[in-house]
């Protein structure tokens, strides 16, 4: 039966290439007045004629790891998503579920065909990741011409919602040490380590000689013998706000009050809600004692830095506000109904922001339109595709989407209502410390900072706050190097080289380094040629970061292609996607029309005390994108949720 389904799935992928003409959302202020910038937007692999997307995996290969996991029993009439994402797809209930495995859309490249990192064509090791980082990806201040730090920050919110790898551990469950605590290289490298050594001629000449990088846990760690291995994913793949609600029933329950549908919270200054404190500070939170603020939420990375906590608190406040509003309209609804309806509505609003505001900024509006990614203006979308696997793709999470690490600002602005910067805090002073969020009116100041501070441009430059000082101990000067981790992670994940992704995405196979110059400047191609021995050796992450950006997009050709594929699957492969009609969890049309009024500016106004905001939340404030009073933004009317 499974084989039949898989054959059907393959046919269905082909059928997808018939692009339909649907009227897409054009009215949202986010992009109005923008000139058509990409006259010939490329098509993502799922929509291409398969012969043009060379190397795109057959569904049989995609499904292999699904046989590693017990098949959940589903209630096909359920109106709400499960907490762990299971049973979203009723034919393949494991798709998108937490604690399963990522999928590949292109054949893995491991040197032994199973799990050992790729080597150069000559058989030698690939060039040192840190050497690549310091040669090609230095720290240069190059602000974005268009976007504020909210764009980057929202991107990380989506990343944490949809992907979390786990590190391999020792057989007794303790952490693997891949680099000695004093920064020296261990005599014998433990088996499950990726070690990033620091060359002696390193321009930043840190004292340490290595970074500790345990490999990501994979299917073999679950006793599941597939070849090549696939990496475990600890959160749901769907865009479902799992970073707020949790990716399993136990976490989700621990975050609920079980009264009026609300989530637990602690009260901060002026009686405002903040995420609850964890009972004991964890290693994810670098605080002095258990009494210090260290937030609990659906995702363990909530305390990574203040602004990711700010975004999660905004979602928390939104959920609890929606519970209050729904309770007023439907006084008879019990706790469970209120929790699920508020969660469903919040996810709908958030998905609308993702596809109406974020995706056009990331991929380009013309590209998003050509690939059916923009929301419809009216009516239901009926294109749920039960054969499309929405599980997070390794080449997206291990390379393409990490490119936004380039947009991180080294300092975070706190800004007052007059849009004056009141203080600037250094990112590496606040890694794993979020207590600052809940002092005075800092929450509002961080929110205004996100809206008004220009972000770093998407390019080959990274702030040294993440490439030299990542997770720096506040009393020390040195930290880790995120870009080296990203490069090494691609090898850990078995990502094939850049040349393979070129072909998958409709570009020609490069025979010489100079063939890369269709996407990458000659200067950067020459640097790649000086680092790598062969054109087929070049890491996807390294070359993808160097590609010239596509018109209107924040990404170059291949990163746009892989990211487009991912957002396409997260939409058309999600049975509970907010725009779909005819599903057990569908909104009514009058409800959907209200959700379409959502904008990120509105959500930020609703969940903070800021008084004014620009309408296009991701664009810096300008004469075309002026501040307007929060009270002037169109609001959702929840009357259609009234039950008679």
Shortest distance, CB of residue 213 to ligand HEM, whole angstroms? 7
- CA quadruple 614, 615, 621, 624: dihedral, nearest 10: -130
**Phi, psi of 144, deg, nearest 5:** -70, 145
Span from 132-140, 155-163, 197-205, 379-387 in contact with ligand HEM (CB under 6 A): 155-163
Q: Which stretch binds ligand HEM (CB under 6 A): 37-45, 158-166, 379-387, 525-533?
A: 158-166
Residue ranges in 567-586 that form contacts with ligand HEM under rule CB under 6 A:
none
Q: Is 196 in the site for ligand HEM (CB under 6 A)?
A: no
Binding mask 284-313 for ligand HEM (x = CB under 6 A): --------------------xx--------
Q: Does 152 bind ligand HEM (CB under 6 A)?
A: yes
Rounded to whole angstroms, the Cα distance separating 385 from 78 reads 18
Identity of the residue, 305 or 343, whose beta carbon is nearer to ligand HEM in the bound complex: 305
Q: Give the residue from 361, 360, 378 showing the smallest Cα distance to 369.
A: 360
Cα three-residue angle 351-352-355, rounded to 5 degrees: 85
Nearer to ligand HEM, 93 or 361 (CB): 361
Active-site residue, selected from the candidate residues 28, 160, 469, 557? 160
> Judged by CB under 6 A, how many residues of this single chain contact ligand HEM?
19
Q: Is 210 in the site for ligand HEM (CB under 6 A)?
A: no
Q: Should residue 566 be labelled a site residue for ligand HEM when binding is judged by CB under 6 A?
A: no
Instruction: Kindly state whether residue 491 participates in binding ligand HEM, applying the rule CB under 6 A.
Output: no
Among 98, 115, 156, 558, binds ligand HEM (CB under 6 A): 156
Partner residues linked to 381 by β-bridges: 580
Q: How far is the CB of 114 from ligand HEM (least distance, A)?
A: 20
What are the residue ranges of helices labelled H in 235-279?
242-245, 249-254
Least spacing, CB of residue 633 vs ligand HEM, in Å: 25
Q: How far is the CB of 305 from ligand HEM (least distance, A)?
A: 5
Structure tokens of 92?
A: 């393949």
Is 408 a binder of ligand HEM (CB under 6 A)? yes
Would you count residue 368 as binding ligand HEM (CB under 6 A)? no
Of 13, 101, 159, 373, which one interacts with ligand HEM (CB under 6 A)? 159
If we measure between CA atoms, which residue out of 218, 559, 570 comes closest to residue 399?
559
Q: Is 319 a catalytic residue?
A: no
- Taking CB under 6 A as the rule, does residue 404 contact ligand HEM? yes
Nearer to ligand HEM, 456 or 527 (CB): 456
549 beta partners: 556
**Is 405 labelled as part of a ligand binding site?**
yes
Token pair 């909210």 is found at 150
Q: Which stretch binds ligand HEM (CB under 6 A): 79-87, 173-181, 481-489, 617-625?
A: 481-489
Nearest Cα to Cα of residue 239 among 391, 347, 88: 347
Question: Nearest Cα to 542, choosing from 125, 136, 42, 8?
Answer: 136
Range in contact with ligand HEM (rule: CB under 6 A) among 6-14, 141-149, 152-160, 256-264: 152-160
Q: Of residues 38, 109, 163, 481, which one binds ligand HEM by CB under 6 A?
A: 163
Residue 419: CB minimum distance to ligand HEM, A: 22
* Coil, helix or strand at residue 559: helix
Residue in 274, 367, 462, 485 binding ligand HEM, rule: CB under 6 A: 485
As a whole number of angstroms, the distance between CA 253 and CA 521 comes to: 52
Q: Which burial class, exposed, middle or buried, applies to 220 when counting CB atoms under 10 A from its CB (0-12, 13-18, 19+)? A: middle
Binding segment (CB under 6 A) for ligand HEM, from list 156-164, 188-196, 341-349, 436-444: 156-164
> Which pair of tokens denotes residue 268?
């901060």
Which residues have C-beta within 8 Å of that of residue 367, sequence separation ≥ 6? 38, 41, 42, 373, 550, 552, 553, 560, 564
For position 261 contacting ligand HEM by CB under 6 A, the verdict is no
For residues 105 and 45, give the distance between their C-alpha atoms in angstroms, rounded to a whole number: 9
Whichever of 71 and 476 has its CB closer to ligand HEM, that residue is: 476
Q: How far is the CB of 236 from ligand HEM (least distance, A)?
A: 13
Q: Does 405 bind ligand HEM (CB under 6 A)?
A: yes
CB nearer to ligand HEM: pick between 265 and 402: 402
User: Is residue 482 a contact point for ligand HEM (CB under 6 A)?
Assistant: yes
Task: Say how many Å lie between the first and final Cα of the chain, rounded.
Answer: 43
Q: What is the DSSP string of 173-214?
A: SPBP-SS-TTSPPPSS--TTEEEEE--TT-TT--S-SEEEEE
Structure tokens at 394: 């390794």
Q: 489 or 575: whose CB is closer to ligand HEM? A: 489
Minimal distance in Å, beta carbon 638 to ligand HEM? 31
Q: What is the dihedral of CA 513, 518, 519, 521, to 10 degrees?
A: 70
Stretch that binds ligand HEM, among 65-73, 149-157, 347-355, 599-607 (CB under 6 A): 149-157
Q: What distance in Å separates the CA atoms of residue 416 and residue 628, rounded to the nearest whole number?
A: 15
Which residue's CB comes closest to ligand HEM? 155
Using alpha carbons only, give the angle 381, 384, 388 rounded to the nearest 5 degrees. Answer: 145
Taking the complex as a whole, the smallest distance from the CB of residue 167 to ligand HEM amounts, in Å, to 8
Instruction: State how far the Cα of 415 lies from the Cα of 38, in Å rounded to an integer.
Output: 35
In DSSP notation, 441-480 reads: THHHHHHHHHHHSEEEPSSS---HHHHT-BT--TT-S--B
Determine if 391 is a binding residue for ligand HEM (CB under 6 A).
Answer: no
419: nearest Cα among 452, 382, 466, 459:
452
Residue ranges binding ligand HEM (CB under 6 A)? 152, 155-156, 159, 163-165, 304-305, 397, 401-402, 404-405, 408, 466, 482, 485, 489
Residues annotated in the binding site for heme b, as ranges? Answer: 405
Which residues define the annotated binding site? 405
Q: Which residues are catalytic?
A: 160
């Amino acid at each position: 039966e499974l084989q039949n389904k898989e054959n059907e799935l393959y046919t269905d992928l082909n059928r997808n290439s018939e692009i339909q003409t649907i009227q897409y959302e054009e009215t949202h202020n986010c992009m109005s007045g923008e000139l058509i910038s990409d006259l010939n937007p490329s098509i993502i692999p799922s929509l291409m004629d398969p012969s043009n997307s060379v190397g795109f995996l057959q569904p049989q290969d995609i499904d292999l790891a699904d046989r590693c996991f017990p098949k959940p029993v589903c209630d096909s009439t359920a109106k709400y998503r499960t907490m762990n994402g299971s049973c979203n797809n009723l034919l393949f209930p494991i798709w998108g579920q937490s604690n399963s495995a990522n999928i590949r859309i292109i054949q893995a490249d491991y040197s032994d065909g199973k799990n050992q990192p790729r080597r150069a064509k000559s058989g030698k090791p690939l060039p040192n990741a840190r050497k690549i980082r310091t040669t090609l990806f230095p720290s240069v201040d190059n602000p974005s011409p268009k976007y504020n730090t909210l764009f980057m920050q929202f991107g990380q919110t989506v990343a944490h919602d949809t992907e979390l790898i786990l590190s391999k551990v020792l057989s007794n469950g303790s952490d693997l040490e891949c680099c000695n605590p004093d920064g020296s290289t261990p005599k014998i490298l433990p088996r499950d380590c990726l070690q990033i050594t620091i060359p002696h001629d390193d321009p930043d000449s840190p004292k340490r000689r290595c970074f500790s990088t345990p490999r990501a846990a994979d299917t073999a760690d679950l006793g599941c013998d597939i070849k090549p291995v696939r990496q475990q994913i600890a959160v749901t793949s769907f865009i479902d706000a799992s970073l707020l609600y949790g990716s399993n029933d136990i976490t989700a329950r621990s975050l609920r009050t079980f009264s009026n549908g609300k989530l637990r919270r602690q009260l901060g200054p002026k009686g405002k809600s903040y995420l609850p404190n964890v009972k004991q500070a964890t290693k994810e939170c670098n605080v002095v004692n258990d009494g210090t603020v260290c937030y609990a939420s659906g995702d363990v990375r909530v305390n990574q830095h203040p602004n990711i906590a700010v975004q999660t608190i905004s979602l928390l406040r939104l959920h609890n506000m929606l519970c209050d509003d729904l309770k007023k309209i439907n006084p008879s609804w019990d706790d469970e109904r209120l929790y699920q309806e508020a969660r469903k509505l919040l996810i709908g609003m958030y998905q609308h922001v993702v596809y109406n505001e974020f995706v056009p900024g990331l991929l380009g509006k013309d590209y998003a339109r050509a690939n059916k990614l923009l929301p419809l203006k009216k009516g239901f979308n009926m294109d749920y595709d039960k054969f499309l696997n929405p599980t997070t793709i390794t080449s997206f999470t291990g390379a393409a989407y990490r490119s936004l690490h380039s947009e991180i600002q080294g300092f975070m602005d706190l800004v007052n209502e007059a849009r004056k910067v009141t203080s600037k805090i250094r990112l590496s002073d606040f890694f794993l410390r979020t207590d600052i969020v809940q002092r005075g009116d800092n929450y509002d100041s961080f929110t205004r900072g996100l809206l008004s501070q220009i972000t770093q441009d998407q390019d080959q430059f990274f702030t040294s706050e993440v490439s030299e000082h990542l997770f720096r101990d506040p009393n020390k000067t040195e930290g880790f190097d995120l870009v080296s981790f990203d490069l090494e992670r691609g090898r850990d994940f078995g990502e094939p080289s850049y040349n393979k992704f070129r072909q998958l995405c409709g570009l020609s196979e490069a025979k010489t380094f100079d063939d890369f110059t269709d996407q990458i400047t000659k200067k950067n191609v020459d640097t790649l040629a000086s680092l790598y021995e062969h054109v087929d050796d070049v890491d996807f992450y390294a070359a993808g970061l160097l590609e010239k950006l596509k018109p209107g997009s924040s990404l170059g050709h291949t990163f746009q292609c892989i990211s487009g594929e991912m957002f396409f699957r997260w939409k058309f492969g999600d049975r509970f996607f907010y725009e779909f009609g005819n599903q057990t969890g569908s909104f009514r049309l009058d409800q959907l029309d209200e959700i379409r009024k959502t904008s990120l500016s509105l959500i930020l106004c609703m969940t903070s005390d800021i008084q004014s905001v620009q309408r296009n939340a991701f664009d810096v404030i300008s004469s075309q994108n002026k501040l307007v009073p929060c009270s002037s933004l169109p609001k959702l009317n929840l009357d259609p949720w009234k039950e008679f």
